[in-house]
Chain A
Amino acid sequence: KAGVTQTPRYLIKTRGQQVTLSCSPISGHRSVSWYQQTPGQGLQFLFEYFSETQRNKGNFPGRFSGRQFSNSRSEMNVSTLELGDSALYLCASSRERQGSSMNTEAFFGQGTRLTVV
């Protein structure tokens, strides 16, 4: 069974540019969550998508956005990049049920290491 796949693995961008990251969840998983991980802040929740709808959102500025497609694949976009956006961006999928308020086991991808210069 294939795991969660994130592309690209590494990315270097310049301040002011925008970037799109991609995540393919485990087959059958309809919930996809995105996280930003930095040494000082740890894992910070960005947003969660379920069946193409954003179900939850963290405390990040509007420059961070995402979407989910009908095949559950997800993308996140960061516009007008800042130096502070340099981080490891992780995607996680889980076998959540519609309307469930409980978290269950999440399967993470290897992440995309974004460096903003």
Chain B
Amino acid sequence: EDQVTQSPEALRLQEGESSSLNCSYTVSGLRGLFWYRQDPGKGPEFLFTLYSAGEEKEKERLKATLTKKESFLHITAPKPEDSATYLCAVQGVNAGNNRKLIWGLGTSLAVNP
């Protein structure tokens, strides 16, 4: 069964203190891995899509990487406005033509000034 596990559940950082969030997945074959950010009271906002092991993508202070079993979201010198819940989702080849995404429970990040 396809599964996505995110760790840690919650992370508190000081402004400027870099860290990484983890997304471990179990699928028979990966079609795509997605990172989203969700602010309180809002819907998720798209960040990145990764398709194959070794792929990396960057956006401002965020960098997403992908291996065959997990993805990392690296946050460099975070600012308080980076505080949010970060969600990871995968689409596996088991899905066939079914485009259903399997979501992790997210990592709640708080960045203190």
Interface residues of A (CB under 8 A from B): 4, 42-45, 48, 55-56, 58, 90, 92, 96, 100-111
Q: What is the CA–CA distance of A44 and B101 in the complex, to the nearest angstrom?
A: 9
19 A-B pairs whose Cβ atoms sit less than 8 Å apart in the complex: A4-B43, A42-B103, A42-B106, A43-B89, A48-B100, A56-B98, A101-B31, A101-B96, A101-B99, A102-B91, A103-B31, A103-B32, A103-B49, A106-B44, A106-B46, A107-B46, A109-B43, A111-B42, A111-B43
Of residues 44 through 61 on chain B, the ones whose CB sits less than 8 Å from some CB of chain A are 44-46, 49
B84: A residues at CB distance < 8 A: none
The answer to whether A42 touches B91, judged by C-beta atoms less than 8 angstroms apart, is no
Chain B facing A: main interface SS = loop
- Interface contact tally, CB-CB below 8 A: 61
Instruction: Out of A43, A45, A102, A105, name the residue touching B31 (CB < 8 Å).
Output: A102
The answer to whether B49 touches A104, judged by C-beta atoms less than 8 angstroms apart, is yes
Q: Which 7 A-B pairs have the closest CB atoms?
A: A108-B43, A43-B103, A42-B105, A105-B46, A101-B97, A45-B100, A108-B44
Q: What is the CA–CA distance of A4 and B91 in the complex, to the nearest angstrom?
A: 23
B89: A residues at CB distance < 8 A: 43
Chain A facing B: main interface SS = loop
Q: How many residues of B contact A (CB 8 A)?
A: 24
Interface residues of B (CB under 8 A from A): 31-32, 34, 41-46, 49, 87, 89, 91, 95-101, 103-106
Q: What is the CA–CA distance of A48 and B100 in the complex, to the nearest angstrom?
A: 8
The answer to whether A43 touches B87, judged by C-beta atoms less than 8 angstroms apart, is yes
B31: A residues at CB distance < 8 A: 101-103
Which chain B residue has the least Cβ–Cβ distance from A88? B43
The answer to whether B41 touches A110, judged by C-beta atoms less than 8 angstroms apart, is yes
Q: What is the CA–CA distance of A63 and B106 in the complex, to the nearest angstrom?
A: 28
The answer to whether B104 touches A58, judged by C-beta atoms less than 8 angstroms apart, is no
The answer to whether B46 touches A45, judged by C-beta atoms less than 8 angstroms apart, is no
The answer to whether A90 touches B49, judged by C-beta atoms less than 8 angstroms apart, is no
Q: What is the CA–CA distance of A103 and B98 in the complex, to the nearest angstrom?
A: 10
Q: What is the CA–CA distance of A18 and B3 in the complex, to the nearest angstrom?
A: 32
B96: A residues at CB distance < 8 A: 101
Q: What is the CA–CA distance of A111 and B39 in the complex, to the nearest angstrom?
A: 12
A96: B residues at CB distance < 8 A: 99
